[in-house]
Copies of this chain bind each other. A is one copy, B any other.
Amino acid sequence: MVELKLARYVEHARAEILERLDAWLRIPAISADPAHANDVRASAEWCAAEMCTIGLEHVQLLETAGHPSVYADWLHAPGGPTVLVYGHHDVQPVDPLSEWISPPFEPTIRDGQLFARGAVDDKGQVLYHLEVIRALLAQDGRLPVNVKLLVEGEEEVGSPHFEALLAEYRELLYADVLVVSDTAMWSEAVPSMCTGMRGLVAFDVSLRTASGDLHSGSFGGAVRNAAHVAGDLVAALHDANGGVTLPGFYDAVLPMPDAVRDSIASLPFDADTFRATANGAAPTGEAGYSTLERIWVRPTAEVTGIAAGYAGDGIKTIVPAHASLKITFRLVPDQDPATVAAAFHHWLDAHVPDGVDATVTPEGGVAPALTPVDHPAVAATARVIERVWGVAPRFTREGGSGPEEALGRVLDAPVVFLGVGLPDDQIHAPNERIVLEQFWKGIVAVGELWFELAAVGGSIPRSVPVEGEQ
């Protein structure tokens, strides 16, 4: 077996690398919760300090109207390509806290896995890039390519200020290829590369039927009940076939080519394994599609939260005056977030009954993303994965959403997904983890990738053909 360039570094530096990961993961950078705003900033500052320490330059927080991103670069490979690495340092909320086996911000290793909020989504995946830079600069005094890093602070809340940030710093962020490390592989034994992600639009819907709760005996049965309005809306969101009922929702969705259907069908999908990974949840969804198709190539509507009336112990005999619904739509090519948002507003207008004051707060949106499998940067990444994992990668997609679409569009460069997560990493749920063997391979793979891209050199096409399906 060929000696991989970073293998020796990983072998000798494991303990100190884990210390650095531990320190970063202890910062509860929950971007969704205003009470944690200072922690998100502290996380950005930790990242910036680490970047300075390892020899990166132009280290800076890029301020936004929300939480800050972090930028740094090393640009001393004249004539070589410039790679922009994207990741994020903010994390998801942690409730229900009681379901965590070890506290979310006290990283704990069990059975070769490191458990903590943000372990794989996404601090761990940013850190393996930093470790490669640390090792190469310490060992060689140089990197084979020009590297820029952009580590966002609002990915988990839908990147509301990211596109504005990209536009403002377009020149600073100029690159030939964009490497995103925020995705998962099929399994440790079946490595894979994501080639596309679903988009997302999200809404917080507030429904008020009265200025205050009413006694359910004195008024029940005769006045509008906010919990009933909420339930009716949730039920009306899907038809009997599991389809989304927003008028025009599927108009822009490109039909799935046979090649994509065949490629998905060829993967070693096991229904029992999937159900175990899905915390035992029963499979269901849009009629006429397989589980992977439902997640990768079909758009969806998910109610992510309902709150109405009394939620404490026992019973409170009220007619609730207020309800809150949190609804997200996952989008696929060529759905447009703004068009779907408009369709949702129209749908809501048509479905909210008289006497209900409905307020909709948009919670950010990202378009779906796809990169062609035959792009030279994708091919280079595939070669690296085969070298490190010993198997040629499958091409998959992610059902999740990210700011990669804006990244590729605004910076006008191809997006490559190199991610070492695994399907049962419990991202966004209690007991998030990173499998350490995948983490170490991430360091080795990134090291290989810089040399591969240096070899590809000037032949990286800047523009990605717009295509709905590949």
Interface residues of A (CB under 8 A from B): 31-34, 92-93, 95-96, 99, 156-158, 184, 197-198, 200, 202, 204, 209-225, 227-228, 230-238, 278-286, 291-292, 294-295, 298-300, 302-321, 323-324, 326, 328, 330, 353-356, 363-364, 398-401, 423, 426-431
Beyond the given A221-B399, A281-B319, A306-B306, please list 11 additional residue pairs across the A-B interface where CB-CB is below 8 A.
A99-B212, A212-B426, A213-B430, A218-B399, A221-B295, A231-B232, A281-B321, A303-B309, A305-B308, A309-B326, A317-B401
Main secondary structure of the interface of A (DSSP, over half): loop
Is A224 touching B308 in the complex (CB atoms < 8 A)?
A: no
Is B317 touching A311 in the complex (CB atoms < 8 A)?
A: no
For the complex, give the distance between the alpha carbons of A93 and B308 in Å.
15
A311 CB contacts on chain B under 8 angstroms: 305, 307, 311, 324, 326
Given contacts A294-B222, A324-B311, contact A398 B303 (CB under 8 A): no
Given contacts A218-B423, A234-B230, contact A213 B306 (CB under 8 A): no
Is B282 touching A212 in the complex (CB atoms < 8 A)?
A: no
Residue in A198, A330, A427, A428 with the greatest tally of chain B CB atoms within 10 Å: A428
Is A32 touching B312 in the complex (CB atoms < 8 A)?
A: yes
For the complex, give the distance between the alpha carbons of A308 and B400 in Å.
21
Residue in A280, A354, A423 with the greatest tally of chain B CB atoms within 10 Å: A280
For the complex, give the distance between the alpha carbons of A96 and B224 in Å.
19
A299 CB contacts on chain B under 8 angstroms: 221
A211 CB contacts on chain B under 8 angstroms: 279-280
Sample (6) of A-B pairs whose CB atoms are under 8 Å apart: A210-B279, A212-B431, A219-B295, A222-B285, A227-B305, A314-B363
Is B284 touching A355 in the complex (CB atoms < 8 A)?
A: yes
Residue in A34, A95, A215, A292 with the greatest tally of chain B CB atoms within 10 Å: A215
A364 CB contacts on chain B under 8 angstroms: 315
For the complex, give the distance between the alpha carbons of A388 and B300 in Å.
65
Is A428 touching B318 in the complex (CB atoms < 8 A)?
A: yes
Is A202 touching B317 in the complex (CB atoms < 8 A)?
A: yes
Is B314 touching A32 in the complex (CB atoms < 8 A)?
A: yes
A278 CB contacts on chain B under 8 angstroms: 210, 214, 219, 222-223
Given contacts A234-B235, A305-B320, A324-B311, contact A221 B428 (CB under 8 A): no
Identity of the chain B residue whose Cβ is nearest the Cβ of A184 in the assembled complex = B218
Is B302 touching A218 in the complex (CB atoms < 8 A)?
A: no
Is A310 touching B95 in the complex (CB atoms < 8 A)?
A: yes
For the complex, give the distance between the alpha carbons of A426 and B399 in Å.
48
Is B220 touching A330 in the complex (CB atoms < 8 A)?
A: yes
Identity of the chain B residue whose Cβ is nearest the Cβ of A290 in the assembled complex = B222
A430 CB contacts on chain B under 8 angstroms: 212-213
Is B228 touching A231 in the complex (CB atoms < 8 A)?
A: no
Is A300 touching B224 in the complex (CB atoms < 8 A)?
A: no
Given contacts A309-B326, A314-B32, A401-B217, contact A210 B428 (CB under 8 A): no
Is A284 touching B222 in the complex (CB atoms < 8 A)?
A: yes
In the A-B complex, the 8 residue pairs with the smallest Cβ-Cβ separation, listed nearest first, are: A282-B355, A231-B234, A217-B400, A221-B300, A235-B235, A32-B314, A305-B309, A210-B281
A328 CB contacts on chain B under 8 angstroms: 216, 220, 315, 317
Is B230 touching A306 in the complex (CB atoms < 8 A)?
A: yes
Residue in A230, A326, A401 with the greatest tally of chain B CB atoms within 10 Å: A326
